[in-house]
């Protein structure tokens, strides 16, 4: 009561000024973070000079504060403009505290305030959608500009009254589509006749018991199978009740619930581009990628998702290679085409700093201290030949070679290859791609703009800015279930996105495919077999 009277007294005194100003919101200082009520609002100023309103969520979390050098309790807030979430501590919440209640008078004063909110922050309700429009006008906008079918538009607008708000109409259309889909699932469970909603691929997808799923997480793939569903359950992530299916993971038998959108994204039965279908198409020929020493095949997965022809080679039977074969014994038939992009991750055991100089010692000039180091040099030269051969056939070839920060950069073979192939070296840290470990890694590429793009993904010298100071997993402290050698999913996305967009922007797909004669294939096979290990 005391604070309310002070607030009204301040408002009354300021209301006598010549220029009417917006009433100042109540600022409650020094509120304990766990006492701040859910829904309490903050009004925060960002670097662009604009204020953005957010509401306080119930979630609490301890996070490491780099400036304070200690763990601080934070509260989650969600911004009204874009539904983005952020964690703020008690000091920040009290600094930007804003009245949780909003009156109609405040809305009217918004127009007269010099420091008004931008379109992204706060708008009056009547500014959204179609205002004071007739049913016919709203129908034409939805049908001809938005591309909504006539049946859907008429069905929804018949249930509405003036004003015919476009956002409300679209929201109702989405709800009606979802209801139709839920009804179809229910009818299928009762062995009734299936209903065909429309010809759209996304809405025609139907999760079924026994369907396989592939869930990419932290550079590894987790496979599972739908064992039950659909059932209406409460969604902890999205709120409300959602139709869910239960998936059992093969690795440890864990059961997890996924909704329709998750299963549509993670289904392992997504079609892969047919390798034999290499004829012309509307956007030109299919582009081709090759991943050498692929391991988990993260790069191959990403390019496959972008409708590239993909091949991957690895000698490990447990790998996800399309061709499990020793690269020293590979032939042209194992590759099948001249690639447009090559990713290579040669074995790092003999070059990594974790080897402690057992295999190589660049400072003393000992580059083959063990038989394993000797063998890996042959693997490296085999990789070099494939890359140079592909470059000669496809001058636009982009190549990326990945290896942990260590002695490979000091190897004379690599130094010569960098000079002859005009490679640029970038050093990245895996934590910058949401991996739990830092793992400084070198990437060599012949594309300068890709090199420049990758240079920014670094960790700081001191505390990690990506994980609040300390990496959850150390170089030597990871468990057996964590695949430290796998490529981060987001690194694969970054590279595939750049290469794919560059090639279509440069119209590489319009160039004719490089094809080999029988004599050229035999020559390639002969060169590949030269220097094979006994």
Q: List C-alpha distances in Å: 524 to 69, 292, 331, 403.
A: 59, 17, 8, 26
Q: How far apart are CA 149 and CA 164, in angstroms?
A: 17
Q: What is the mean pLDDT of residues 486-497?
A: 90
What integer pLDDT is reported at residue 240 of this predicted model?
64
pLDDT confidence tier of residue 124, bands split at 50, 70 and 90: very low
Between CA 359 and CA 520 the distance in angstroms is: 37
How far is Cα 397 from Cα 164, in angstroms, rounded to an integer? 54
Span 275-288, mean pLDDT? 66
**370 token code pair:** 């063990």
Q: For residue 225, what are the β-bridge partners? A: 212, 248
Least confident of 8-22, 36-50, 216-230, 301-315: 8-22
What's the pTM?
Answer: 0.50
What's the pLDDT score for residue 47? 61
Residue 199 has pLDDT above 90, yes or no: no
Residue 532: the pLDDT is 53
According to DSSP, residue 464 is labeled: B
Q: What pLDDT does 482 receive?
A: 52
For the segment 71-108, what is each residue's pLDDT rounded down to a tens digit?
Answer: 888 888 887 766 677 888 888 888 877 654 443 444 44
Give the residue with greater pLDDT, 339 vs 461: 339
Contact between 368 and 360 under an 8 Å Cβ cutoff? The reply is yes
CA distances 85 to 53, 186, 212, 380, Å, are 12, 35, 32, 46
Residue 445 three-state SS: strand
Which stretch, 130-144, 185-199, 425-439, has highest mean pLDDT?
A: 425-439
Check: CB of residue 43 under 8 Å from CB of residue 53.
yes
CB 521 within 8 A of CB 332: yes
Residue 369, Cβ density class (10 Å: 0-12 exposed, 13-18 middle, ≥19 buried) = middle
Q: Residue 356: what pLDDT?
A: 59
pLDDT of the residue at 533: 46
- pLDDT value at residue 104: 41
Which regions of 347-494 does DSSP assign to beta strands (E)?
398-404, 424-429, 440-445
* 445 CB-contact burial (10 Å; exposed 0-12 / middle 13-18 / buried 19+): buried
- DSSP per-residue string spanning 238-268: T-SEEEEEEEEETTT--EEEEEHHHHHHHBT
Rounded to whole angstroms, how far apart are CA atoms 478 and 472?
A: 9
Reported as a single tens digit per residue, the pLDDT across 332-380 is 999 999 999 999 999 887 777 666 567 777 777 776 777 787 777 888 8
What is the rounded CA–CA span in Å between residue 389 and residue 488? 28
What is the spatial distance between Cα 236 and Cα 231, in angstroms, rounded to a whole number? 15
| Residue 288: predicted pLDDT | 94
Beta carbons of 465 and 66 less than 8 angstroms apart: yes
Tens of pLDDT, residues 168-195: 676 677 678 778 777 776 766 554 444 4
Taking only the tens place, the pLDDT of each residue in 204-235 is 567 888 788 878 765 566 778 888 888 887 66
On whether the CB atoms of residues 260 and 177 are closer than 8 A, the answer is: no
pLDDT in tens, 28-85: 556 777 777 777 888 877 665 667 788 888 888 888 777 777 888 888 888 776 667 7
Per-residue pLDDT reduced to its tens digit, 136-174: 767 765 665 445 677 777 888 888 776 666 656 766 776
Banded model confidence at residue 2, pLDDT cuts 50, 70, 90: very low
The whole-number pLDDT of residue 130 equals 32
Cβ contact 305:362 at 8 Å? no
Q: Is the pLDDT of residue 17 over 50?
A: no
Q: What is the pLDDT of residues 238-273, one digit of tens each?
A: 556 788 889 888 878 888 888 887 887 777 654 333
DSSP label at residue 112 = T
- Please report which residue ranges of 163-318 form alpha helices under DSSP H: 166-189, 201-204, 260-266, 298-305
pLDDT at 394: 93
What pLDDT is attached to residue 395?
Answer: 93
Question: What does the alpha-carbon distance between residue 495 and residue 490 come to, in Å, rounded to a whole number?
Answer: 9
The answer on pLDDT for 502 being more than 80 is yes
What's the chain's average pLDDT? 73
Q: Which one has a higher pLDDT value, 126 or 288?
A: 288
In the numeric block, which tokens belong to residue 425? 């070296």
Which of 249-263, 300-314, 401-415 ranks highest by mean pLDDT? 300-314
Sign of CA dihedral 126, 127, 131, 137: negative
Strands, sheet with 241-249, edge to edge from the N-terminal-most edge strand: 212-217, 220-234, 241-249, 255-259
So what's the pLDDT on residue 98? 66
Question: How far is 366 from 133, CA to CA, in rounded Å?
Answer: 81
Residue 324 DSSP class: E
Q: Residue 136 corresponds to which tokens in the numbers above?
A: 């016919």
């Amino acid at each position: 009561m005391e604070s309310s009277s002070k607030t009204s007294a301040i408002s009354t005194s300021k209301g006598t000024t010549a220029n009417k100003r917006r009433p100042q919101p109540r600022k409650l200082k020094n509120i304990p973070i766990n006492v701040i009520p859910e829904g309490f609002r903050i009004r925060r100023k960002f670097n662009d000079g604009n204020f953005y309103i957010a509401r306080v969520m119930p979630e609490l979390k301890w996070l490491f504060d780099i400036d304070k050098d200690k763990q601080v309790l934070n509260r989650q807030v969600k911004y009204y403009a874009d539904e983005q979430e952020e964690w703020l501590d008690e000091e920040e919440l009290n600094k930007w505290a804003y009245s949780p209640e909003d009156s109609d008078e405040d809305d009217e004063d918004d127009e007269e305030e010099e420091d008004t909110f931008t379109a992204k922050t706060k708008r009056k309700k009547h500014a959204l959608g179609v205002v004071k429009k007739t049913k016919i006008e709203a129908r034409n906008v939805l049908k001809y500009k938005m591309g909504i079918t006539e049946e859907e538009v008429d069905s929804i607008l018949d249930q509405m009254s003036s004003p015919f708000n476009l956002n409300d109409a679209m929201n109702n259309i989405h709800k009606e589509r979802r209801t139709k889909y839920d009804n179809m699932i229910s009818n299928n469970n009762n062995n009734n006749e299936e209903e065909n909603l429309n010809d759209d691929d996304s809405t025609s997808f139907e999760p079924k018991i026994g369907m396989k799923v592939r869930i990419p997480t932290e550079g590894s793939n987790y496979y599972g199978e739908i064992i039950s569903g659909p059932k209406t359950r409460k969604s902890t992530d999205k709120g409300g009740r959602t139709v869910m299916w239960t998936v059992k993971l093969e690795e440890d038998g864990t059961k997890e619930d996924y909704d329709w959108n998750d299963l549509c994204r993670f289904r392992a039965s997504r079609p892969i581009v047919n390798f034999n279908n290499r004829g012309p198409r509307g956007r030109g020929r299919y582009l081709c990628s090759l991943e050498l020493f692929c391991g988990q095949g993260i790069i191959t997965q990403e390019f496959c998702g972008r409708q590239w022809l993909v091949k991957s080679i690895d000698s490990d039977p447990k790998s996800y290679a399309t061709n499990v074969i020793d690269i020293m014994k590979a032939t042209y038939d194992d590759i099948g085409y001249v690639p447009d992009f090559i990713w290579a991750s040669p074995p790092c055991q003999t070059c990594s700093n974790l080897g402690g100089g057992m295999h190589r010692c660049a400072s003393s000039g000992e580059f083959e201290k063990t038989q394993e180091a000797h063998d890996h040099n042959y693997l490296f030269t085999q990789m070099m030949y494939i890359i140079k051969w592909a470059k000669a056939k496809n001058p636009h070839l982009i190549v990326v070679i990945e290896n942990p920060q260590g002695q490979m950069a000091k190897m004379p073979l690599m130094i010569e290859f960098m000079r002859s192939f005009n490679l640029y070296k970038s050093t990245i840290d895996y934590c910058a791609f949401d991996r739990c470990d830092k793992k400084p890694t070198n990437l060599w590429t012949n594309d300068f703009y890709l090199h420049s793009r990758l240079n920014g993904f670094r960790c700081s010298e001191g505390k990690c800015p990506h994980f609040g100071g300390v990496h959850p997993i150390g170089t030597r402290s990871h468990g057996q279930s964590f695949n430290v050698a796998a490529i981060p999913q987001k690194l694969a996305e970054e590279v595939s996105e750049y290469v794919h967009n560059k090639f279509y922007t440069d119209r590489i797909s319009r160039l004719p495919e490089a094809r080999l004669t029988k004599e050229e294939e035999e020559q390639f096979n002969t060169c590949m077999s030269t220097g094979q290990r006994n």
